[in-house]
């Protein structure tokens, strides 16, 4: 078989040349990367939308369940409030015994340490910390104020005594000294509730002692 040989006799300027389309790697690789990223972003956005829809459905279901069980939460809150009130009442009852014993001791100290012709007007508890008691009293003798403060400081229940003020005022028949003192209560003293049969200090005895002291003070003032 004879091979066919073709000879192009056309001039060079009329010949048709085959053109090869070649792309540079610097263009192909970035374009390919952009396409891959775009496809990935598309599928990721689909994933996020699906996840958002599922989370929205879960939130709606939870909110519906919360609304359905709201009465249970209200009941729990009510029980917590009642428990808090009960705890406060229990603590108040527990404090009654301690305060009862404390005031028996303190009233005995305040009234028992009063000098002659002196009497108490008011006793006010100022809860701290530190806990303080403010006294207002009257006396006919100015030096007795310092004597009274010294006697109070000697007791174990009083840590320190401060003179808040003193002035001379007109009494029923003559002038008297009105003075105010502040006593810091000694918190380190182990005050315990007064029990039945507690011999060292009894409320009735302390009250009677305070009453007698006031009676003597009042009687002394009338002389």
Quick: pLDDT tens for 35-60: 888 888 889 999 999 999 999 999 99
Q: Is residue 117 in some structural domain?
A: yes
Q: Is residue 71 in some structural domain?
A: no
Q: Is residue 138 in some structural domain?
A: yes
Residues 135, 110 contacting (CB under 8 angstroms): yes
Give the dihedral sign, CA 64/70/76/81.
positive
pLDDT range class, residue 126, cuts 50, 70, 90: confident
pLDDT range class, residue 222, cuts 50, 70, 90: very low
| Residue range(s) defining the domain that contains residue 177 | 93-189+201-222
Lowest mean pLDDT, pick from 6-20, 88-102, 120-134, 140-154: 6-20
Greater model confidence, 100 or 97? 100
Would the pTM count as exceeding 0.75? no
pLDDT of residue 165: 92
If one counts every other C-beta atom within 10 angstroms of the C-beta of residue 213, the result is: 21
Q: Which two tokens stand for residue 68?
A: 């359905």
pLDDT of residue 14: 59
- How do residues 135-192 score in pLDDT, each as one tens digit? 999 999 889 999 999 999 888 888 899 999 999 888 788 889 999 999 988 877 655 4
Q: Is residue 127 in some structural domain?
A: yes
Which positions ≥6 away from 104 have C-beta within 8 Å? 194, 201, 202, 203, 206
Does residue 130 surpass a pLDDT of 70? yes
pLDDT of residue 201: 38
Does residue 110 surpass a pLDDT of 50? yes
pLDDT range class, residue 208, cuts 50, 70, 90: very low
> Whole-angstrom Cα distance, residue 122 to residue 203?
19
Q: Is residue 38 in some structural domain?
A: no
pLDDT range class, residue 106, cuts 50, 70, 90: confident
- As a whole-number percent, the residues of the chain with pLDDT over 90 amount to 24
Does residue 64 surpass a pLDDT of 80? yes
Q: Is residue 69 in some structural domain?
A: no
pLDDT of residue 90: 82
Domain count along the chain: 1
Q: Is residue 135 in some structural domain?
A: yes
Strands (E), the chain: 118-126, 132-139, 158-170, 175-185
Q: List the CATH number of the domain containing 180.
A: 3.30.1360.100
pLDDT of residue 97: 59
The residue written with tokens 């699906």 in the block is: 50
- As a whole-number percent, the residues of the chain with pLDDT over 70 amount to 69
In 3-state terms, what secondary structure has residue 39?
helix
Q: Is residue 77 in some structural domain?
A: no
If one counts every other C-beta atom within 10 angstroms of the C-beta of residue 101, the result is: 18
Does residue 205 surpass a pLDDT of 60? no
């Amino acid at each position: 078989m004879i091979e066919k040989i073709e000879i192009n006799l056309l001039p060079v300027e009329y010949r048709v040349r085959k053109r090869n389309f070649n792309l540079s790697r610097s263009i192909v690789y970035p374009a390919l990367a952009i396409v891959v990223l775009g496809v990935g972003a598309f599928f990721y956005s689909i994933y996020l939308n699906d996840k958002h829809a599922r989370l929205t459905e879960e939130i709606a279901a939870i909110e519906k369940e919360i609304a359905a069980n709201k009465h249970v939460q209200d009941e729990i809150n009510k029980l917590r409030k009642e428990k808090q009130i009960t705890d406060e009442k229990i603590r108040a009852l527990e404090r009654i015994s301690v305060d009862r014993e404390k005031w028996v001791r303190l009233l005995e100290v305040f009234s028992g340490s009063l000098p002659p012709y002196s009497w108490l007007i008011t006793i006010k508890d100022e809860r701290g910390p530190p806990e303080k008691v403010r006294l207002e009293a009257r006396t006919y003798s100015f030096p007795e104020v310092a004597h009274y403060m010294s006697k109070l400081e000697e007791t174990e229940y009083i840590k320190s005594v401060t003179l808040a003020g003193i002035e001379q005022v007109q009494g029923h028949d003559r002038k008297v000294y009105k003075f105010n003192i502040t006593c810091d209560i000694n918190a380190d003293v182990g005050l315990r509730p007064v029990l039945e049969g507690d011999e060292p200090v009894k409320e009735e005895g302390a009250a009677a002692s305070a009453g007698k002291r006031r009676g003597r003070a009042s009687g002394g003032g009338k002389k």
